[in-house]
Amino acid sequence: MKKTVSVVAAAAALAACGGNGQAPLPTLDGKPALVVAHRGASGYIPEQTVEAYARAIEQGADAIEPDVVSTKDGVLIARHDPNLAFSTDVADHPEFAARKRKLSVDGDVQEGWFASDFTLAEIKTLGGIATDAERPQQFNGKYKIATVQEIIDMIKKSGRNIVIYPETKNPTFHRQQGVPLEDKLLALLSSAGWSDASAPVFIQSFEPGSLKYMRSKGSKLKMVQLIDADDVDLKTGALTYAAPYNRPYDWAQAGDKRMFSDMVTPAGLAEIKTYADGIGPWKRYIVSVKGTLDASGKVMDVNGDGKINETDTTTQAPTTLVADAHKAGLFVHPYTFRNEKRRLAGNYKGDPVQEYKQFYAIGIDGLFTDFADTALAARAEYLKDTGR
């Protein structure tokens, strides 16, 4: 892996100075795309644990991403969901059985155990679990949930200029629970010496209000508007929209009828530029997929495995979103790239490197991946292929 990282670093330096007389890369700044370790090395180790972030750093990721939720005592931890049932072994802890309850998270009524009902000391007794059945299960329950402060400390200790890329998760929900995220997050980052636009920090959120609030508090850190959708209609390749993935929850609360799709229009991108520096769209906004239809108009199980998934699809022509965003002065960091064959369009032939290289060639400025090592190797290959 060290060899791959050194090759990437050399290629990056060469590209930055215009080596070999090559034109700049098609990114907004002409530099190689940023590889963001999504929830750590979550393709290998239970996500958002100390060990998952340590592995991502070892792999050479340019950035590591914690989803930020709050404990009952106001400590920021790394979890994708406020509901601990989804990614921890809390159900195996009888001492917490009475904490189980139903709660509405962004309009979705869930049953489970919620981080805002637990102190940090209690949460530290839990272990993370793999959230994908195809991924290694032998580490379940063994590794502890990371705090945002622990992640900051790991970055500092690494000696590398690694970017921290936190997401304010369900910020309206957290305000409703009395444990708002934004001020605490900004304070942690400021204490680390990171408070200006040049800091190795990107803050992301699906809710514009969260980013706007931090801007109103004077934050100059780089902000990223995430853009979601529900799914892809495999008959047409069109994106579909259903709650809670149809619009930001703060828009829903305010009665704003616009959807995430409105954000990718020229007007939507111009609006985002007033409070953010970039966008983080679901990758299907850039390259969608479409199935093969049989005579009756149904999507075919092309590989005959009895399931209809992305392996039965082919990629469609790229949209103009990256070019449109660049024109608006916004960088583009799509999510989420994964190695499992069921997540790869059929024309990639089961090779995730082919997907990465396609997106690098389109001009994305970074990407979120569960397999940072694969993304880094693909980036090195792409740079070599293009003579950089």
Q: DSSP letter string over 111-171? A: EE-BGGGS-HHHHTT--B--SSTTS--TTTTTSPBPBHHHHHHHHHHH-S-PEE--EE-SH
Strands (E) located in the chain = 34-38, 63-65, 67-70, 76-78, 101-105, 108-112, 163-164, 167-168, 202-205, 222-227, 231-232, 239-240, 278-281, 289-291, 313-315, 331-332, 366-369
pLDDT score of 23:
82
In this structure, are residues 60 and 91 in contact, taking their beta carbons and an 8 Å threshold?
no
pLDDT score of 229:
98
Residue with tokens 């060899």: 3
Measured CA to CA, the distance from residue 155 to residue 53 in angstroms comes to 9
Q: Is residue 220 part of a domain?
A: yes
pLDDT score of 22:
73
Q: Is residue 374 part of a domain?
A: yes
What's 323-358 look like in SS3? Answer: HHHHHCCCEECCECECCCHHHCCHHHCCCHHHHHHH
Q: What angle do CA 84, 56, 189 make, to 5 degrees?
A: 70
Q: Is residue 96 part of a domain?
A: no
Long-range contacts of the stretch 118-123 (C-beta < 8 A, 24+): 118/71, 118/72, 118/84, 119/71, 119/72, 119/73, 120/71, 120/73, 120/75, 120/77, 120/147, 122/96, 123/71, 123/77, 123/84
Q: Is residue 119 part of a domain?
A: no
CATH assignment of the domain containing 188: 3.20.20.190
**pLDDT tens figures, 82-141:** 999 999 999 999 999 999 999 999 999 999 999 999 999 999 999 999 999 999 999 999
Encoded tokens for 348: 């990639």
Residue stretches of the chain with pLDDT short of 50: 1-19
Which residue segment(s) compose the domain that 53 sits in? Answer: 2-69+146-385
Q: What is the number of other CB atoms lying within 10 angstroms of the CB of residue 267?
A: 10
Measured CA to CA, the distance from residue 236 to residue 384 in angstroms comes to 35
> What is the pTM (predicted TM-score) of this model?
0.93
Count Cα atoms within 13 angstroms, Cβ side, for 263: 30
Question: What is the identity of the amino acid at 127?
Answer: G
Strands (E) located in 252-311 = 278-281, 289-291
Q: Is the peptide bond before 244 cis (omega within 30 degrees of 0)?
A: yes
Q: Is residue 28 part of a domain?
A: yes
Q: Is residue 136 part of a domain?
A: no
Q: Is residue 33 part of a domain?
A: yes
Question: What is the identity of the amino acid at 318?
Answer: P
Query: Residue 114: beta bridge partners?
Result: 83
Please tell me the total count of domains within the chain.
Answer: 1
Q: Is residue 76 part of a domain?
A: no
Under DSSP, the state recorded for 300 is P
